[in-house]
Structure 1
Amino acid sequence: MKTKTIMFVTGAFVTHHCWDEWREYFEARGYSTLAPAWPFKDGTAAELRARQPNDVDLARLTLAELVDHYAGIAKSFPEKPIIIGHSLGGLITQILLNRGLASAAVAIHSVPPQGIIPYEFSFLKSTWGALGLFTSLDETYLMPFDTWQYAFVNEMPLEEQQKAYDLFTAPESKRVARGGLTSAAAVDFDKPHAPLLLTSGSLDNIIPAHLNNRNFERYKMNGSVIEYKEFPGRNHHTLSQAGWESDADYILDWIKNY
């Protein structure tokens, strides 16, 4: 039996180390995995925060460049990988799937593609600062702890919220954040695609389940395999939130049966 490759795609505001436990989980079950860092974000959260706000290379990164970065990696394999992305990484996963670069895809709490208007107040409250209006685009944005508490780790004990912030939170490109409002975030919902699973969490503030469901509903039932799953009690920090293994179990079973 051939070993299948899973490529994990990281979202905004955090480092690629958010996938470390997921990589161990799937590798223990026979998969080959990788979680490539974003350009200019290959470091620990502490190392990246030490560059804040003057990491000009990261600040000038665009969403189109970021998508192409992951597309180039996906194309480097002899066979199409399974692609799993979280948040903005979920949007990138949907775009890569749309380009025909995945054998199957899972978008976890995905930022919606262009055309799905995120009117939910909690989304706007969580992401407004990242757009960096009236600030220099050559300076990176670091999500403040109080925003992190609301957007990522709501309903978790304070000690766990702080630990997660210290381990994972990293500066971000405002250009990438703004790219989500442009054609760089476009998906052709009518185009047939490889199997796709979209997941959401009932406690997620930054990407509410209602927004994820509208993302799912935009895909046409044109014969492509597509599924939507909402997990109760999950916030946006679902990759490391206590009990994350149940989400991974569900995704593993789905991958095996697509």
Structure 2
Amino acid sequence: MSRPVVFIHGLWIHSSAWQPWQELFELQGYRTAAPGWPGDGDTVAATRANPDAVAGYGVDAITEAYAAVLAGYDEKPIVIGHSFGGLIAQKLLDRGLAAAAVAFSPAPIKGVRALPFSLLRTSFPVLSRPGNKQRAVSLTEKQFAYSFGNALPAAESAELYERFTIPGPGRPLFEVSSANFTRDAPSAVDTASANRGPLLMVAAGRDHTVPAVVVRAAHRLYAGSAARTDITCHPDRGHSGVFDHGWRELADEALSWVRSLDRSGAPSA
């Protein structure tokens, strides 16, 4: 039976953004799924119509929701995540629930200390109001253009904003921002473990939300692990890379990496 691949979206982006990836992977014989976060509606419109449904969920609750999805398969899936989805993918891999993981511009795990200005700027609209920890927060089109669409033509950024953006819980941003001062931070991962599957981290050189320096810092935290941990960087891509006009370049890279695991006989149980 074909290996399952589960896609995990990031904050403010609906899971429907993964549809082209699912079609590509299914053509190559994989079974795919792209579940939403807790409270997400089946469509962008449905999620926007009920923003309170997503409020209050943090990293642990989102991770548990995906853990339940993975438990329904007859073998460990490969997980592919973007932004906060990349963080969730690493947590699932760390727990031994996934066979392997690909993390595109992943939100920082505990221990990452790099704080570029652009990362602070993208987080400020949420973190500047403590009450947002319990609320659902939406990006304005201008905020999206800076955080996601800065490497795109203005028209494409506006189109993607209308097509894919949804309200998201503020809590995960608060949890990540305070992780290095929190003993049992939800974003903590055992980076020294040798008992996990392979991990590919992918950085984007023009990313404002998770700059490449942040991804490289996370990769360095895994240096003490004997488990396979790869990293690549796309210098001209921004945070929208997995769902903008250049998505296929990143998808082909992920697909090639995943297929290399199948050829090498990577464990699936």
Query: TM-score, structure 2 length as denominator?
Result: 0.90
Residue of structure 1 in register with 2:153 after alignment: 157
* 1:152-188: CA deviation from partner (whole Å, max 9, x where unpaired): 0113122111110011111111123222234111011
Shift of residue 43 of structure 1?
Answer: 2.9
Q: Secondary structure at the match of 2:131?
A: coil
**Match 1:145 to one of 137, 141, 146:** 141
Read off the aligned partner of 1:226 and give its amino acid letter. Answer: T
Q: Distance in 2 between matches of 1:136 and 1:234?
A: 29
2:212 is aligned with 1:213: no
Read off the aligned partner of 1:190 and give its amino acid letter. Answer: A
Q: Distance in 2 between matches of 1:188 and 1:201?
A: 24
Shift of residue 107 of structure 1?
Answer: 0.5
2:187 is aligned with 1:191: no
2:8 is aligned with 1:9: yes
Q: Distance in 2 between matches of 1:217 and 1:251?
A: 21
Q: Distance in 2 between matches of 1:91 and 1:134?
A: 23
Question: Do the aligned residues in 2 keep the contact of 1:80 with 1:102 (CA within 8 Å)?
Answer: yes
Residue of structure 2 in register with 1:175 after alignment: 171
Q: Secondary structure at the match of 1:117?
A: coil
Q: RMSD across aligned C-alpha pairs, in angstroms? A: 1.5
**Match 2:58 to one of 62, 72, 75:** 62
* 1:17-56: CA deviation from partner (whole Å, max 9, x where unpaired): 111111111111111000001111123223322334xx1x
Q: Distance in 2 between matches of 1:6 and 1:42?
A: 21
Residue of structure 2 in register with 1:200 after alignment: 203
Shift of residue 222 of structure 1?
Answer: 3.3
2:223 is aligned with 1:225: no
Specify every segment of 5 or more residues in structure 1 that has no aligned partner in the other structure, as ranges.
Answer: none
Q: Distance in 2 between matches of 1:132 and 1:29?
A: 45
Residue of structure 2 in register with 1:24 after alignment: 23
Q: Distance in 2 between matches of 1:246 and 1:223?
A: 29
How many pairs does the alignment contain?
254
Residue of structure 2 in register with 1:241 after alignment: 244
Q: Distance in 2 between matches of 1:17 and 1:213?
A: 28
Q: Distance in 2 between matches of 1:136 and 1:153?
A: 23
Runs of 4+ in 1 over 3 A off after TM superposition: 134-139
Q: Secondary structure at the match of 2:60?
A: helix
Question: Do the aligned residues in 2 keep the contact of 1:63 with 1:177 (CA within 8 Å)?
Answer: no
Q: Distance in 2 between matches of 1:164 and 1:234?
A: 15
Q: Secondary structure at the match of 1:220?
A: helix
Q: Secondary structure at the match of 1:187?
A: coil
Shift of residue 112 of structure 1?
Answer: 1.0
Residue of structure 2 in register with 1:101 after alignment: 97
**Match 1:122 to one of 118, 121, 127:** 118
2:81 is aligned with 1:82: no
Q: Distance in 2 between matches of 1:251 and 1:39?
A: 26
Q: Distance in 2 between matches of 1:38 and 1:253?
A: 27
Q: Secondary structure at the match of 1:97?
A: helix
Q: Secondary structure at the match of 2:122?
A: helix
